[in-house]
Amino acid sequence: MSKAPEVLIVGGGAAGIIAARRAADSGARVTLLEKNERLGMKILISGGGKCNLTHAGSMEEIRRQFRPNEGRFLKPSFYRFTNHQFLEILHSRGLRSYVRPDGRIFPVDPANAKDVVALLTEYVEEAGVRIRYKSPVAGIDVTNGAVQGVRLDDGTTLRASRVIVCTGGSSFPATGTTGDGWRWLSDIGHTIVPLRAALAPMYLADVHADWSGVALRDVVLRARAGREGKEIAHWPGDLLFTHKGVSGPTALGVSREVAERDAGAVPSPSTLEADTIPARSFEDLHAAFRKELTDNPRRTAASLVTPYVPSRLVDPLLSAAGVAGDTRGSQFPAKALKKLVSTLKGWPLGDVRHVPLERGEVVAGGVSLDEVDPQTMQSKIVSGLYLCGEVLDIAGPVGGYNLQAAWSTGYVAGDAAAKSASQ
């Protein structure tokens, strides 16, 4: 009887977990090497500890959330291992999930990310995968274009003709993701597309510490190429002011484009502005305010603004518009009214000073997708080497898309590595 093929997997995060189980189910002897003392450290902090498991859209809708080249690359794996297939793993083991109105899927309370990781750890263990914790890998051995195994930090070597690298990105390095994979992969000939922050908060040049903790709800945040410059990105949702700048879904949503632009030699930093009333046009709002001031001549500028921004931000917004809060209907200059409405529709929040890569939910950039076969996740540079998850040049928006990319590419890598090793 021939011996089962050996597959080594480096990195026990979202992609590595699914890859390990699939490789074991496909008949391989699997060793999963993880530098931490537990699996899925990043899953544990995902979705604020609740874990946004995936998204409820069709796989085509999910795919379209990624940039076109990323979506094309992900297509085969998204159809091989879908959101429903992943959820079935959880549901069949008793963990229930629910869909939020925006399509994001979470475990039903009180279950949370911890329960997801515990369940997935069991899922890997029950397939007979050998998990080696506290086993940081230091490099990959390659001879004549074929993988030979991996080198551990302690100097030992593990031999295998199939190795899957899923060491993730380099944000939140305390979770174990310190960009190790990119160093080895670059050494053995892979192109690493420049790493950039994505889904990250943004630090502003002029910080208003007293606004920290205040949120603007249901706004649209716009990023521009310099003051009055062309729009480079916008995102609807909530905006949170922090002690260093801005965060929340809108900030995360535009951060990748800002980080990409500001990484180049640009004449001026990107700037941000908030449309505080996106549902209404300038003209509509202007007409409504003018009527209000005519009907109620004692109405003040401050009272017009109050329904739309939190009380702590009323004075700052008026001051940005250059309008005194006690300006009344009877003496409201036409120019001032226009300025007030245009500030509500595009409140300048200032220059972006920095987008911290290490604070992002994902890192954009990584192994060039041109160098990986999307049908198998096998490297086109080194045979027997498979790559999956965030180590690849993939970064989706917030919404469960990034974990789905890790689950799906992990599945395909595990399957292909095990099957090719047994041929």
- Rounded to whole angstroms, the Cα distance separating 341 from 304 reads 10
Question: CB within 8 A of 107, min separation 6: which ones?
Answer: 50, 51, 53, 90, 95, 96, 97, 113, 115, 116
CB of 90 to ligand FAD, least distance (A): 14
Q: CA-to-CA distance for 362 and 197, rounded, in angstroms? A: 7
Strands 29-33 and 6-10, sheet pairing = parallel
Q: In whole angstroms, how close is the CB of 43 to ligand FAD at the nearest point? A: 6
Q: Does position 394 bind ligand FAD by CB under 6 A?
A: no
From 64-72, 238-246, 329-337, 397-405, give the range in contact with ligand FAD by CB under 6 A. 397-405
Q: Which of residues 163-182 bind ligand FAD (CB under 6 A)?
A: 166-168, 171-172, 176-177, 180
CB of 193 to ligand FAD, least distance (A): 15
Count of residues near ligand FAD by CB under 6 A = 38
**Quick check: 112 binds ligand FAD (CB under 6 A)?**
no
Instruction: Indicate whether 107 belongs to the interface with ligand FAD (CB under 6 A).
Output: no
Smallest gap from Cβ 402 to ligand FAD, in A, equals 3
- Contact residue for ligand FAD among 22, 23, 24, 52 (CB under 6 A): 52
Q: Which long-range contacts (CB under 8 A, 24 or more apart) does 104-112 make?
A: 104/52, 104/55, 104/56, 104/399, 104/400, 105/52, 105/53, 105/54, 105/55, 105/56, 105/400, 106/47, 106/50, 106/51, 106/52, 106/53, 107/50, 107/51, 107/53, 112/49, 112/50, 112/51
Of 7, 9, 14, 24, the one binding ligand FAD by CB under 6 A? 14
Q: Please, what is the minimum distance in Å from the beta carbon of residue 153 to ligand FAD? A: 8
**Residue 393 interacts with ligand FAD (CB under 6 A)?**
no
User: Residue of minimal CB distance from ligand FAD?
Assistant: 13
| 385 beta partners | 163
As given in the structure block, the two tokens for residue 183 are 């160093």
**Chain contacts with ligand FAD (rule: CB under 6 A):** 10-16, 33-36, 41-43, 45-47, 51-52, 136-137, 166-168, 171-172, 176-177, 180, 361-362, 389-390, 400-403, 406
